[in-house]
Structure 1
Amino acid sequence: MKFSFQTTTSYFLSLILITGLFSSCEKSDNPNNLPDVDPSGYTGKIDGYTSSDEIYPANLKAYWSFDDTKNEIKSASAPTSTANDSFISGVKGKAIKLNGGYLYYAKQFDALKTDALKSFTVSVWVQITNNGSKRTMLMQIARPGVFDGSLDFRLNTNSNPASVTDKLGIGPRFSTVGGGSQDNLNANLHPKIGADVWTHLVLTYDSNSGTFKEWANGVDVGSYNNRGVGNNLFKSYEPSEFIIGANYNLIPGKTVTADVSYAAMTGSVDELRIYNAVLPDAHIKALYNLGVAGK
């Protein structure tokens, strides 16, 4: 059979066109033409990070590492007084152990002033046990001469005996712009605790929505997260001071009421961080995962 030059040319042009058509229909593995990812850049990282220090560093405004120092790192502020404290091995480096003790800072931290602290995240690692009799004030942005602080990180260690290690009541509260109080409670979900167990606790507050969350080991455990806006919004009152492990009634010479519901903290604290922003959920989980890995 003979083919003319025109017929042969038309055949090959059609074949090229059909081949190109099928090629254009194949799904590209990189439709946005993104650069290749080097896997070695993620070696040794957890959730994309090599250290907790890499998470929202610009928003970290107060930090206690407890690496052989009781100072707040950002301002280099030493405590005014302490009681029954010592250094131990922590989640990341050293930690502070309190045996019925506290750290008291009679200082107005700039990072905790009214206009500086609207929304926040507080992240901390603790070793704690229940005691069946007294509450524990893990941390307080204290108001001189006032029993309740602007922010009280309360642990209901009074609710169960020390033998109960699968139930810790977390009951933080804050003072409002209207002069009232708002709180939260983990009514249904609880972290594991114990004298030798490190537990990661986080509070977040969004001043735009009035959402006050509490987290334990990377899980949102709060039962009453929506606290309202308007007069219910958080306010960091001035002047303020800062206490770890106690309230004023437990510091000699600072008693403000006859309330005896709290005991100075028996437990350990590490990596206390205060951010002036709400960390996204994934970053809260990253802080937990990094801490578990000692990073």
Structure 2
Amino acid sequence: MKTNKLLIGMLAATGLAFMVSCGDDTDSSLPPIGGYDKADDVAASSLRAYWPLNGNGKESISGTNPSTTVAATFVAGIKGQGVSFNVGYMAYPAIEALNSTSGSATISCWAILNNTRPAPDQPSNISPIFSLTRTGEVWGNLNLFGETHGLVSSDSIQVKGIYRIKQADGTETGGDAVNMLKQEPWMDATHTWNANKIGGQWAHIVYVFDGPTGSNRIFVNGVKISNSAWEVRNNGAALNLNHFLPTRPVIGALETVVNGSNTDAWNKALKGSVDEVRVYDKALTQAEIGALYELEKAGR
């Protein structure tokens, strides 16, 4: 009897080990994308702020919550939940990690933007996604938004990144990166354009500010779309990112909308959705941007 009980126990243990082994095979890791297992691994040492927007507005690295939230609801996002704004925004107090800079930066996010100019002869307004503000100024140190310009169709969105940063003598310098929606008569061979038909759908939008090369670029869904003629600034000499302080992050609006001083008809808070906002203290490479896009699109 003891022998039979021992045999039964051994068989049971073997079966359990087999089931555990089968379970491990079923739950094995997915193959890497671009050399990464998950989006959090991309340029991890340079990530300074991250908003997952999974049911709340907390910035996950510092634990900072928004100081003001307007017309925001949480909806299904590209990865978990995202936030939908009905002409609204989330404004934050200063986050220490965003004050200092290596001289370069990248803003990465997902957004749903809608064309705000239904016909060529009608007015439109911008769709702000993210801004690192400057006190009392419309344009912050770094700004990322969409707008309708040179209308091609109702799903064509122009994406623009604008910088307004401090020079060594304390004065301001600025510029932008933008995609042209169509070829204009004045364009020469140095100009590129991209109709960028992302209106009304989730799109991965990235703004890269590269200080050592004095350049800035826009990527959508892993592809560089910015007008090549306007990417290089400062004649290609170094133009290191240097913030005017204090700078506060805002998702969905520019500073003058948040502080109530706005008088510009084109400057409104966002009517659209945002998810997975990341700010890096480096210029991400195209390979890193492509991996981030594919990983987040896959929910990783």
Please give the TM-score of this superposition, normalised by the length of structure 1: 0.78
Kindly state the Cα deviation for residue 259 of structure 1 after the two structures are TM-superposed: 2.0
Tell me how many residue pairs correspond in the alignment.
249
Q: Do the aligned partners of residues 266 and 117 (structure 1) sit closer, same or farther apart at CA in structure 2, a change above 3 Å counting?
A: farther
Amino acid at match of 2:108: S
Matched, 1:235 2:242: yes
Q: Which SS does the other structure have where 2:178 is aligned?
A: coil
Residue 49 of structure 1 pairs with residue 54 of structure 2? no
User: Which amino acid is 2:176 matched to?
Assistant: D
- Supply the distance in 1 between the matched residues of 2:149 and 2:89 (Cα, whole angstroms): 18
Partner Cα separation in structure 1 for residue 219 and residue 242 of structure 2: 21
Does the CA-based 8 Å contact 2:205-2:220 persist in structure 1?
A: yes
Q: In the alignment, what sits opposite 1:95?
A: 82
Look up the match of 1:202.
206
Shift of 1:233: 4.3
What is residue 118 of structure 1 aligned with on the other side?
103
> Rg bigger for which structure?
1
- Name the structure 2 match of 1:145: 136
Q: Contact between 2:89 and 2:252, CA under 8 Å: does it hold in 1?
A: yes
1:207–1:233 contact (8 Å) kept in structure 2: yes
Q: Aligned to 1:225, which of 227, 231, 237? A: 231
Q: Distance in 2 between matches of 1:231 and 1:42?
A: 42
* Alpha-carbon separation, structure 2, partners of 1:189 and 1:83: 33
Q: 2: distance between equivalents of 1:245 and 1:232?
A: 27
Checking the alignment, whether the CA contact within 8 Å between 2:215 and 2:233 is kept in structure 1 is: yes
**1:265-280 correspondence to structure 2 within 5 Å:** 265-280=270-285
Deviations 1:99-141 (A, max 9, x none): 1110011x2211221x335211111000111111111111111
Provide closer, same or farther for how the CA distance between residues 96 and 189 of structure 1 changes in structure 2, counting only shifts above 3 A.
same
Partner of 1:21 in structure 2?
none
Alignment of 1:119-268 (within 5 A): 119-132=104-117, 133-157=124-148, 160=151, 164-165=154-155, 167-176=156-165, 177=167, 178-187=171-180, 188-195=193-200, 197-223=201-227, 224-228=230-234, 233-251=240-258, 254-268=259-273
| Unaligned residue ranges in structure 1 (runs of 5+) | 1-40
What fraction of aligned residue pairs are identical, expressed as a percent? Answer: 28
Q: Deviations over 1:271-292 (max 9, x none)?
A: 0000101112111111111122
Counterpart of 2:263, as a letter, is: A
Give the TM-score normalised by the residue count of structure 2: 0.77
Kindly state the Cα deviation for residue 64 of structure 1 after the two structures are TM-superposed.
0.2
- Corresponding residue of 1:14: none
State the superposition RMSD in angstroms: 2.2
CA deviations 1:172-198 (Å, max 9, x no partner) are: 110132412111111211433233x21
Equivalent of residue 104 in structure 1, options 87, 91, 94: 91
Letter of the structure 2 residue corresponding to residue 148 of structure 1? W
Structure 1 segment 9-88 matched on structure 2, within 5 A: 43-88=30-75
Contact 2:164 2:172 in 1 (8 A): yes
Q: Which moved more, 1:211-220 or 1:177-186?
A: 177-186
Task: Look up the SS of the partner of 1:53 in the other structure.
Answer: helix
